[in-house]
Chains A and B, each alone.
Chain A
């Protein structure tokens, strides 16, 4: 049976659509996650301009108000506007999410490369990493926070450290595969220096899985920051963060559940959007894995 050109065209599912639509059609997770995350990020970035009240001004007369036109999300036990605090809290999550994934990934790449290339270092490094993975991440982070003075920077470090072993393992396994590739051998055969092989041949071929891993790390970092703050071991109480707000709202949850509910919704949506983005990136960048799943 011969098909006419029109029939063939009709079978191509993207035919006739706008390129944006066909991208959405092929990568729905990526687009939904990306759009949601961009909205969250814009709202957090614009907090100083769009927040109706100061996030730290206490108005004792207006404490524990229910959501209203004046206070969209109500007020907390000290009379602070929950909506403004949620917006400002997003900045903390944004900073923590991005810097933890950058920090953990870059340190992990360095250590993982060494482990992948040196058998001696490998034995030592991987045992240390196994040891770190044996400690639950939240415990390790709480212990690190106990050692350090509470600030955003220390929160970032405390969350990044437990993430490092996972990156090291990933990078090490990638390096072990890539260094046996014929093109690495071919590069050696033309006299390429070792560090140049690392930079030009090994690293670029490991970037795709690292981007995906980095996205998931940043989702888990946002959650971790909330855990730590909720436990009182995270962001210092004078800085509004979603975890802090939920911790403070816990005592009065029977009177005003809105204090916990709204930061919780924002936290959930943010983590969801980053995870969707990560899944979408994986499907787009690594079609082989995507098809297998």
Chain B
């Protein structure tokens, strides 16, 4: 019934357990991530969705300990990779994990590559670092990786600089660099946000193909529900630093329980309107009223209560616990009823 026994049975490669990442400054404490738990299974693609500032990226960066501390404080919880708690690792040991076991690709391909190094050098860097490859074999690997991410003429392209690549090609190069050491886990932090839709589709297809080839588990962080629907087996919905719902992707889209998830889905534009419908006749997209609360200080009650149409007195008083409603459909809400 509870999550811990489940994860052991389900062969989790990465377990996030009650993670709390706070930012302390003069004005007080910002609870960017406040008690988030989820598991990443071997070979799975897990989506993390939520609007800007809900703690998605902070969660991801904490997994690799890439957030400078101070100001960040890990106030509690554990991140277990193959059973070992990454939060207990020192910097030197963390470096053997980064890029080698767990890799990350960032949102903005335009600035994530160093403008003064060739693309090939940057892809080879991972292999030089972790596998102690020499210059030549590392370069060969870089060419091979560029080929795998469908860059034409990889041998010539490896010697070019990032400004000679288009946005989509740079994101491919980033993926090539991230996968060069064949990591077990790939964290993709909004990998397609900066790209146009056509390129988005190509990048997603590429990631799924490579996942099949390398057997990598992927954490897909995004605010695009379309990307989630295409790629993820399971989805975690975050709001204001907390997990509000987790379910298999199909179930989440067909039967969302949490009012926030329902709101998100209603706010997604669809192409299903009959052709020829005039703009004025189309139904207006539903929006979620209100704003994300400031995460300063301790939030009393459910963080979504101020914007929730189902909120009752208890929602403002105490925070709802995480409940499993069967089939691994987890929700944190007092008023969702049973599925």
B117: contacting residue among A182, A190, A204, CB under 8 A: A204
- A200 CB–B CB distance under 8 Å: yes
Question: In the docked arrangement, what's the CA distance between A189 and B126, Å?
Answer: 10
Contact A191 B97 (CB under 8 A): yes
B106: contacting residue among A186, A191, A200, CB under 8 A: A186
- A153 CB–B CB distance under 8 Å: no
Quick one: given A183-B114, A185-B66, A185-B106, are A190 and B126 in contact (CB under 8 Å)? yes
Contact B98 A190 (CB under 8 A): yes
User: Nearest B residue to A119 by beta-carbon distance?
Assistant: B70
A189: contacting residue among B103, B116, B117, CB under 8 A: B103
A191: contacting residue among B95, B112, B116, B117, CB under 8 A: B95
Most buried by B among A189, A200, A201, A207: A189
B residues lining the A interface (CB < 8 Å): 64, 66, 94-100, 103-104, 106, 108, 111-117, 125-126, 129-130, 174, 177-178
Shortest beta-carbon distance from A220 to chain B in Å: 28
Main secondary structure of the interface of A (DSSP, over half): helix
Question: In the docked arrangement, what's the CA distance between A191 and B95, Å?
Answer: 4
List 17 additional A-B contacts (Cβ < 8 Å) besides A190-B98, A191-B100, A200-B117.
A181-B111, A182-B106, A183-B112, A183-B113, A186-B106, A186-B112, A189-B99, A190-B103, A190-B125, A190-B178, A191-B96, A191-B97, A191-B129, A192-B95, A192-B99, A193-B129, A200-B125
- A286 CB–B CB distance under 8 Å: no
Shortest beta-carbon distance from B17 to chain A in Å: 22
Contact A205 B116 (CB under 8 A): yes
Most buried by A among B95, B108, B178: B95
Most buried by A among B94, B103, B125: B125
User: Nearest A residue to B100 by beta-carbon distance?
Assistant: A191
Residues of B within 8 A of A181 (CB): 111
Shortest beta-carbon distance from A147 to chain B in Å: 41
B177: contacting residue among A190, A200, A207, CB under 8 A: A190
Question: In the docked arrangement, what's the CA distance between A181 and B110, Å?
Answer: 11
User: Nearest B residue to A205 by beta-carbon distance?
Assistant: B116
Residues of B within 8 A of A201 (CB): 114, 117
- A98 CB–B CB distance under 8 Å: no
Contact B125 A205 (CB under 8 A): no
Contact A187 B95 (CB under 8 A): no
30 A-B contacts, Cβ less than 8 Å apart? A181-B111, A182-B108, A182-B112, A183-B111, A183-B112, A183-B113, A185-B66, A185-B106, A185-B112, A186-B104, A186-B106, A186-B112, A186-B113, A189-B64, A189-B98, A190-B99, A190-B178, A191-B94, A191-B95, A191-B97, A191-B100, A191-B130, A192-B99, A192-B129, A193-B95, A193-B129, A200-B117, A201-B117, A204-B116, A205-B114
Task: List the 6 closest pairs (A to B, CB-CB), nearest first.
Answer: A190-B99, A191-B98, A204-B116, A191-B99, A183-B114, A191-B95
User: Nearest B residue to A178 by beta-carbon distance?
Assistant: B114
Question: In the docked arrangement, what's the CA distance between A181 and B106, Å?
Answer: 12
Residues of B within 8 A of A188 (CB): 66, 98
Question: In the docked arrangement, what's the CA distance between A191 and B180, Å?
Answer: 13
Question: In the docked arrangement, what's the CA distance between A183 and B108, Å?
Answer: 10
Residues of B within 8 A of A189 (CB): 64, 66, 98-99, 103-104, 106
User: Nearest A residue to B92 by beta-carbon distance?
Assistant: A193
Residues of A within 8 A of B108 (CB): 182
Residues of B within 8 A of A185 (CB): 66, 106, 112
Question: In the docked arrangement, what's the CA distance between A190 and B178, Å?
Answer: 7
User: Nearest B residue to A191 by beta-carbon distance?
Assistant: B98
Question: In the docked arrangement, what's the CA distance between A189 and B177, Å?
Answer: 11
